[in-house]
Amino acid sequence: MDLNIGAAFEALIDWLKTNFEGFFEVAATAIGSTTEGLEDVLLLLPSWVMILLFTALAWWVASRGVALFTLVGMGLLDSYEFALFGTEIAVGMGYWEITMETLALILSSTLLSLLIGIPLGIWAAKSDTVDAIIRPVLDFMQTMPAFVYLIPAVVLFGLGTVPGVIATFIFATPPCVRLTNLGIRQVSEEAIEAAQSFGSTPTQMLFKVELPMALPTILAGINQTVLLALSMVVIAALIGSGGLGDPVVQGIQQLQIATGFEGGLAIVILAIFLDRVTQAIGERAGSTAQAA
Amino acid sequence: MAVIEVEGLWKIFGGDPERARERAREGVSKAEVKAETGSVIAVNDATFEVREQEIFVVMGLSGSGKSTLLRCINRLIEPTFGTVEVHGEDVTAYDDEQLRDIRRTKMSMVFQNFGLFPHRSVLGNVEYGLEVAGMSKSEREEKARRTLDLVGLEGYEESRPSELSGGMQQRVGLARALVNDPEILLMDEAFSALDPLIRDEMQNELLQLQEMWDPAATILFITHDLDEALKMGDRIAIMKDGELAQVGTPTEILTNPADEYVRSFVENVNRTKVLQARTVVRDPRDEEEARLRTDSPSVHPRAPLAEILPTVLKSDQPVAVRNGQGDLKGVVSRSALMEEVTRNAGVDLEEEAVEEAVTAQAS
Ligand SMILES: Nc1ncnc2c1ncn2[C@@H]1O[C@H](COP(=O)(O)OP(=O)(O)OP(=O)(O)O)[C@@H](O)[C@H]1O
Ligand SMILES: [Mg+2]
């Protein structure tokens, strides 16, 4: 018998595929339709309206500087055609549609990360055993080269957006779990005792004291999750997830410097926007829930 | 009469509690038991009762087990052995539901470092207990506002705890504990983190509140400060290495220290400054009561003996002892006061105090 680790893992994936086919189909449909739905929503309004909305959001949660960056940066992603002295001129990268594709992918994988990562983080905070089990798994998930996730994702879900979301989800979830766990464990012992001494149920304790007090830390985790998700965009494009990874992949394959650079720049713009906005949300929560 | 009865209470952390208890009973010291069994004996066979509406102080040095003892009463810490009864009901046998109920309705707690919720406003903090008990928003807000007025925090309802000074934060802690009119108030070094002046102010206010309440709460008050213990306590328990070295009134503790440990604590105390009028008070005789009109000179039960000395010495009749509300609590006679003040005659300080008082009378 050949005791090959890789073969064992392959066997596991095969076994999952044959025995849980129904489950994977349902999951694929749910993830696929969520992502498509988000994409449709993001593309519902004309791009200039969306750019103004994103700018307003940046202004509201972050600062005027971030808003200005959003306006200019997102403006560059779009394209404009006009005639000047009889010449047709086109400016902008013309990536609006694929930017929204990428945003939809990030949003839906982040949503999945939160849905699974936050409860897992809470559980790990409550139980040292769970924490001890989860910790190495998270390390594994984060250090394994992200490309590797593509293979089982494709085997289980085929090509397209869904395996992209799944691979992104696996890669981006660890900080969400870790920081939820950390945030809850950091809540001061006296605040916990106080809540107990007034007769809180465990649920009241969680929702009225632990989660609110852990919120700034949890939001820092979400910020990291979003950025990790974005870093998967190019990799996900390799399995046909579309989005801003496409021009980069195309640039590499055909050695088109211009295309590759534009794709990369678009990702950076989106990254800065997402980072500043999620960070500002965390800071706002932090200023109201700062530890006493 | 007794509100809380603690019987043979032990709290042993880690190791093999049965064996640790066995060894401790054989007279092995806390440190040796720890070295031998790995168990930390935080509370060692505590038995005492707290009477209705009294302020029962537990005093001891750091690590003596005060906080653990207090937490065994509302079961923030599970006792290892023994029972805690509240109004004759064994709290140690309560299930989660009963425990929540008694915490919501009968006992509340004030913490050394306040234990406030930083994400809630002052009002939100005070409302907390009522909120988890399921009271409606409008009702609990109204009660919380009233309690905040009571502790002198009107106008700060919408502030965050972090915006307040330490003294004010602890007022929030106090209001949060008082909002549901608890019968029992557990206070774990509630004033220890405050500046001396603020601490004094808070002590006086607590005493005043206790006087105003009807019915007054029963207070279990933890401190490591002897002056605070003597000032606040109707009765005091002195704790050492998890054991109660002595339980008694301030006078008893000062006059008859149970052992060397307690004696070493109290030997340098100036009795006339720490003992209060209430320790020498007696019930008035009928004819005295008739004579004691409200406008006759009176002293406060909490006034230190040194302070009431001139008044009592000047009067040829026993002096009335009245609380802040003007209720007659008894009388102090010159002889009773002199007896207390000159006890342990030979101590210079006390002779000085008497002399001072006599000169004051002459002038
Ligand atoms: N969770 C715990 N695990 C192990 N030992 C503990 C634990 N909690 C308290 N102890 C030990 O029990 C003893 C009593 O501690 P406790 O906190 O009750 O003392 P304290 O009198 O309140 O002291 P302080 O004045 O410092 O608050 C100490 O020796 C302490 O180290
Ligand atoms: Mg303590």
Token code pair at residue A186: 């950091």
The letter for the amino acid at B204 is N
Q: Complex ipTM above 0.90?
A: no
Q: Pick one of 1.10.3720.10, 1.10.3370.10, 1.10.10.10, 2.60.40.1220 as the CATH number of A5-291.
A: 1.10.3720.10
φ, ψ for residue A242, nearest 5 deg? 75, -160
Q: Which of B217, B247, B267 is the last residue before a domain boundary? A: B267
Residues B176 and B303 in one domain: no
Ligand 1 pocket, CB under 6 A: B 13-14, 40, 42, 60, 62-68, 224
Which residues are paired to B41 by β-bridges? B12
* Interchain proximity B76–A197, CB inside 8 Å: yes
B216 and B167 inside one domain: yes
Q: What is the CATH classification number for the domain harbouring B327? A: 3.90.1280.20
For the CA of B72, the nearest ligand: 1
Selecting from B76, B99, B104 the residue whose C-beta is nearest the C-beta of A193 gives B76
| Chain B residue with minimum CA distance to A284 | B119
Q: Which of B119, B125, B162, B170 to mutate to test the interface with A (most CBs of A within 10 A)?
A: B119
- Domain encompassing residue B185: 52-68+92-267
Residue A110 contacts residue A229 (beta carbons within 8 Å): yes
Out of B9, B12, B13, mutate this one to test ligand 1's pocket (max ligand atoms within 8 Å of CB): namely B13
Please report, as a single letter, which amino acid is at residue A2.
D
Residue B138, φ and ψ in degrees, nearest 5: -65, -40
Domain identity same for B138 and B255: yes
Per residue in B61-113, pLDDT tens? 999 999 999 999 999 999 999 999 999 999 999 999 999 999 999 999 999 99
Q: How far is B143 from chain A (nearest CA, A)?
A: 16
Residue type, A204: Q
Instruction: Please tell me whether residues B164 and B56 are part of one structural domain.
Output: yes
Q: Give the pLDDT of chain B (363 residues) as one tens digit per residue.
A: 799 999 999 999 998 999 999 999 998 999 999 998 899 999 999 999 999 999 999 999 999 999 999 999 999 999 999 999 999 999 999 999 999 999 999 999 999 999 999 999 999 999 999 999 999 999 999 999 999 999 999 999 999 999 999 999 999 999 999 998 999 999 999 999 999 999 999 999 999 888 888 888 999 999 999 999 999 999 999 999 999 999 999 989 988 898 888 998 888 888 888 888 888 888 888 777 777 776 678 888 888 888 888 888 888 788 888 888 788 888 888 888 888 877 754 444 455 565 666 666 555
For position A2, what pLDDT does the model report?
A: 62
In whole angstroms, give the CA distance from residue B219 to residue B55: 5
The structural domain count of chain B equals 2
What tens digit of pLDDT does each residue of B322-334 get?
A: 888 788 888 888 8
- Residue B177 CA to residue B109 CA, distance in Å, equals 6
